[in-house]
Structure 1
Amino acid sequence: MDVLDELERRITAALQLNPRASWRTVAQVLNENERTIARRGSELLAGGRIAAVGIRSRAASLLVRTQCAPGSTPVTTEALAARADTSFAYMVTGSTDVVAEIVTSRDRLAHLVSIELATTPGIAHAETLPILKYFRTIRSWRIGALTRDEADQLIGSRPPQADGTLTEPNLSAQDQDIVDCLISNARMSYEEISRRAGVSETTARRRVEWLLRSDSVHLRLLVEPAAVGLPVEALVWLRIAPDKIDRIGESLRRDERVRYAAALAGSSQIVVDVTLATSSELYEFVTQSEWASGVDSFDLTMVMRARKRGGRLNDTALA
């Protein structure tokens, strides 16, 4: 995979903080020529090396850990990734073959678990682990290419979107159309949103701002960790006494190496997605982090292929 150069990383880092930032704003913050930023940023987006997407808020999420019939892991990965309600789908090492996150509504959980997953091609066994709380999602993951002052300029006075909420707002049909626009392209112009949603540009701007403030849709900038020098990715499944879950979860939330951490109902109490530069750093993460002494035991699965991230199919991951 091509690794982003320094300017590409800085553009990516800027859009992580503010996916809808104009090229003019990014150029001013990075102290670069606006035409250069617009050209290089547009090339990153058009080439699929980065993607700005939205994720719809839902009241229920669960992780699915599947064991597949011999030779069927790619089929199962494709089937889970193709679901519209799947946030991510990974092929992994160990006793589990595929891990996916499904974001849905509470009234669909029973049918999802008993029928849909049971009839998914290739699955021999599936463990479902409802998510109780997010400590960190990829909205909070940063590649660290900006100074504190640059980051503050991009965030400005916008209130940060919370990571831990599991809600499903009651939206009008018009707002649903606008959310659909942001899901397909978080950087879609207000002019295009107004055309697709059948509203004025002023209304489109006002409703987008409300949808973001109310956490009805979450925006994020997707980039493959390997493209920013972090080719080692692992899922760490922690088993923890109940009275330690919050403390360890908060420690993980503060750890810049963590892409994602969530409290679960099931055989593991917390799952962590971590991306690092080397296997030695992964060893250090699981043995020397401040939370390590509070964990009863853990499993470690390496991510071999990410077929889907942030609701977006990742074609290059299976190349």
Structure 2
Amino acid sequence: MEVLDDLERRIAAALQINPRASWRTVAHALDEHERTVARRGTDLLSVGRIAAVGIRSRPASLLVRARCTPGSAPVTSEALATRADTSFSYMVTGSTDVVAEILTTRDQLAHLVSVDLATTPGIAHAETLPVLKYFRTIRSWRIGALTPREVEELGGPRLARDGAPFVDLDLSAQDKDIVDCLVANARMSFEEIARRAGVSETTARRRVEWILSSEAVQLRLLVEPAAVGLPLEALVWLRIAPAKISAIGESLRRDTRVRYAAALAGSSQIVVDVTLPTGDDLYRFVTESEWSSEVESFDITMVVRARKRGGRLNDPSVA
């Protein structure tokens, strides 16, 4: 995979902090020419090397660990990835072949577990692990390419409320149209959103601000870890005594190497998605982190193919 150059990394890092930031704002923060930033940033977005998208908030989510019939892991990964309610779908190493996260509602869980997964092509056995709490999601992962001053210029750290409780909002038909716009393209202009939702530009601006502040949609900038020098990705499944979950989760939330961490109900109590330069770095992550001595046991599955991330399908030729 082609690695982003220095300016491309800094543009991506800026949009991680604020996916809707104007090119003028980004250029000012990075002390670069606006025309250069706009051209390079637009190129990155247009060819899909980065993507600004939104994820609809849902009251329930669960991870699926699927064992597949021989040779069918790509089919299963594809089937799960193309579901509208799937946020990610990975092919992995180990006794599990595919791992996916599904965002849903509590009244749909029974059908999802008993029917949808049972009829998904290629699945021989599926373990479902409901998410109890998020410590970090990829919207608060940072590639670390900016100085503190540049971060401040873009509006500060803006630590995402990954563990915030779900709030069931009463969205109008126009609000739902606006949500659809932000999910498809988090950088869509207010003018275009207004046209698609059939409202004035002023109304579109006001409703977007309300939708985002209410967490009905969570925006994130997607960039493949390998494109920023982190080619090794692993899911680490931790088994922990209940009394230690919160402290370990908080430690993981602070760790810049962690893309995603969540408390689960099931055979593992926490799952961690970590991206690193080498296997040696992964070894140090699991043996030398401040929480390592507090974990009863763990499993590691390496991500070998990411068909979907952040609700967005990757190009199958490079995923």
Question: Measured at CA, do residues 65 and 102 of structure 1 come closer, stay the same or move farther in structure 2, by a change above 3 Å?
Answer: same
Counterpart Cα distance in 2 of 1:7 and 1:60: 38
Gaps of 5+ in 1: none
Given that 2:140 and 2:160 are in contact with CA atoms closer than 8 Å, whether structure 1 keeps it comes out as no
Alignment of 1:128 with 2:128, yes or no, is yes
2:267 aligned partner: 267
Q: Which runs of 4+ in 1 moved over 6 A?
A: none
C-alpha contact 2:17 2:158 (8 A) present in aligned 1:
no
Q: Following TM superposition, by how much is the alpha carbon of 1:23 offset from its aligned partner in structure 2, in angstroms?
A: 0.4
Counterpart secondary structure, 2:121: coil
The Cα offsets for residues 163-220 of structure 1, whole Å up to 9 and x where unpaired, read as: 0134243322111110100000000000000000111100000010111111110000
Report how far residue 318 of structure 1 moved. Answer: 4.2
Distance in 2, Cα, partners of 1:317 & 1:272: 26
Corresponding position of 1:80: 80
Which residue in 1 is equivalent to 2:153?
153
CA apart distance, 1:159: 6.1
Question: 2:164 matched to which residue of 1?
Answer: 165
> What does the per-residue CA deviation read over 1:136-167, in whole Å, with 9 as the maximum and x for residues that have no partner?
011111000000111011125x9654101342
Structure 1 residue 242, shift from structure 2 partner: 0.2
Structure 2 counterpart SS, 1:144 = coil
TM-score (norm 1): 0.98
Partners of 1:247 and 1:160 lie apart in 2 by 18
Distance 2:170 2:155 in 1: 27
1:148–1:29 CA distance, 2 compared to 1 (3 A) = same
Contact 1:55-1:218 within 8 A present in 2 as well: yes
2:63 matched residue in structure 1: 63
**Counterpart contact for 1:90–1:100, Cα < 8 Å:** yes
Supply the distance in 2 between the matched residues of 1:159 and 1:313 (Cα, whole angstroms): 26
Could you say what the CA RMSD is over the residues aligned between the two structures, in angstroms? 1.1
Distance 1:136 1:317, change over 3 A: farther
2:293 partner amino acid: S
Hey, what's the Cα distance between the residues in 1 that align with 2:53 and 2:100? 18
Task: Give, in whole Å, the separation in 2 of the partners of 1:46 and 1:63.
Answer: 31
Q: 2: CA distance between counterparts of 1:318 and 1:30?
A: 30
Identity between Structure 1 and Structure 2 (%): 77
Question: Is 2:135–2:163's contact at 8 Å kept on the other side of the alignment?
Answer: yes
Q: Is the 8 A contact 1:67 1:123 kept in 2?
A: yes
| Whole-Å separation in 2 of the counterparts to 1:266 and 1:318 | 32
Paired amino acid for 2:229:
G
User: 2 CA distance for matches of 1:260 and 1:219?
Assistant: 15
- The SS at the match of 2:28 is helix
What TM-score, normalized to structure 2?
0.98
Which blocks of at least 5 consecutive residues in structure 2 are unaligned?
none
TM-superposed CA distance for 1:224, in Å, is 0.1
Residue of structure 2 equivalent to 1:195: 195
